[in-house]
């Protein structure tokens, strides 16, 4: 068995950060299978596109023939599945795409992996891993006083997105318990950092702030999220792949609970220092918009299991990570300009303008 992994969805935000860190860290060969939907961007991977240890294949995890051919050709010891539709607002407008990619796509990938795994010799069979990357949103919503999500929390998804991810998690669990497949599942909190598509809060606020547009905050901004710097998430996944117990789930969090309003205020204050306006503060651009349907009040991850069992904990605080993130966006405006044309503008129009909020 070669020192090779297949990463699905490796041109997206978290996936591309993982692929970059894997190849630059010389962890072995990496084959990246990505459908290249709106959020998949090969520009994220320009730094390694000529590296002999990196291979890109455009394809869909739902295409069994493509997946079978890759498994046969590259003989990986692991599949790391990032491929997913991953935005709540998009799932409210178009849930069908989420069902197709997150549930049916994961099923097809599992079936291909199971057939491949069954044909391996005993040694390779025991070394193989299928690592499924998921989200804290499958656990539902917390009150202000509830303890943070543990791996034993019941699933209570509240959006088409989180329901589709919950279904995919259940499929992965079932393939381990029914067929004995060596699976691992990780459930992470909100990621942030380089190459984040600007439909999500942090990059959207940075982009709008610099372009003099209103900074949209749902409701009163009191919704709470735990924030995880993407490089920390990538290191955690590598650690789970290396030493995680087969069949187990590991929650990955940053221990950084912040309200949305706190996050936006922090971004404005950093931008006031790093790229000040001619007059006033970026906080002056804050505007409150109609809350999204079924908006979960609070997510929080208890990441004590992965620290206790695998010795992993995040290297970045929110303060260090958010400064790195803002500086990255300020020095990569060409990347931002390229991804905020076309499909992104269509999304802003559908998500805000059609609801009567003139933000674009």
Question: Which positions are annotated as active-site residues?
Answer: 136-137, 161
Own/partner long-range contacts of 88-92 (Cβ < 8 Å, ≥24 apart): 88/137, 88/159, 88/161, 88/162, 88/292, 89/199, 89/292, 89/351, 90/161, 90/199, 90/347, 91/159, 91/160, 91/161, 91/164, 92/159, 92/160, 92/292, 92/293, 92/294
Residue 77 is classified by DSSP as: S
Q: What is the dihedral of CA 290, 195, 27, 84, to 10 degrees?
A: 40
What is the rounded CA–CA span in Å between residue 149 and residue 76? 33
Best CA proximity match to 88, nearest among 126, 140, 129, 124: 140
Quote the strand ranges of 280-353, DSSP E.
Answer: 286-289
What is the rounded CA–CA span in Å between residue 208 and residue 200? 12
What is the rounded CA–CA span in Å between residue 20 and residue 45? 7
What is the rounded CA–CA span in Å between residue 17 and residue 194? 8
Two tokens, residue 96: 């069908």
What is the rounded CA–CA span in Å between residue 336 and residue 190? 20
What is the rounded CA–CA span in Å between residue 144 and residue 312? 26
Bridge partners, residue 29, by sequence? 4
């Amino acid at each position: 068995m070669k020192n090779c992994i297949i990463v699905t969805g490796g041109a997206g935000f978290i996936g591309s950060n993982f692929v970059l860190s894997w190849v630059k860290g010389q962890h072995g060969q990496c084959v990246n299978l990505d459908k290249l939907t709106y959020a998949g961007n090969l520009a994220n991977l320009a730094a390694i596109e000529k590296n002999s240890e990196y291979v890109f294949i455009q394809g869909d995890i739902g295409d069994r023939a493509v997946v079978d051919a890759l498994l046969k050709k590259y003989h990986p010891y692991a599949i790391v599945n990032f491929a997913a539709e991953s935005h709540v607002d998009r799932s409210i407008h178009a849930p069908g795409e989420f069902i197709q990619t997150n549930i049916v796509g994961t099923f097809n990938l599992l079936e291909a992996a199971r057939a491949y795994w069954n044909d391996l010799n005993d040694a390779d069979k025991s070394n193989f891993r299928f690592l499924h990357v998921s989200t804290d949103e499958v656990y539902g919503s917390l009150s202000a006083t509830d303890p943070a999500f543990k791996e034993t929390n019941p699933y209570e998804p509240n959006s088409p997105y989180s329901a589709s991810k919950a279904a995919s998690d259940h499929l992965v669990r079932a393939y381990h318990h029914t067929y004995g497949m060596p699976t691992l599942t990780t459930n992470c909190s909100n990621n942030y950092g380089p190459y984040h598509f600007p439909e999500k809060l942090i990059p959207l606020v940075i982009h709008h702030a610099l372009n003099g547009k209103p900074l949209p905050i749902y409701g009163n901004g009191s919704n709470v999220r735990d924030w995880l710097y993407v490089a920390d998430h990538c290191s955690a996944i590598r650690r789970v792949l290396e030493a995680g117990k087969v069949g187990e789930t590991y929650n990955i969090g940053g221990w950084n609970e912040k309200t949305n309003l706190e996050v936006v205020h922090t971004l404005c204050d950093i931008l006031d220092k790093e790229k000040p306006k001619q007059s006033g503060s970026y906080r002056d651009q804050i505007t409150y918009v109609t809350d999204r349907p079924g908006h979960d009040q609070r997510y929080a991850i208890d990441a004590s299991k992965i620290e206790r069992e695998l010795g992993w904990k995040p290297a970045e605080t929110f303060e260090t990570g958010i400064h790195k993130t803002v500086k990255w966006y300020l020095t990569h405006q060409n990347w931002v300009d390229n991804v905020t044309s076309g499909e992104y503008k269509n999304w802003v129009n559908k998500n805000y303008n059609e609801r009567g909020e003139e933000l674009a």
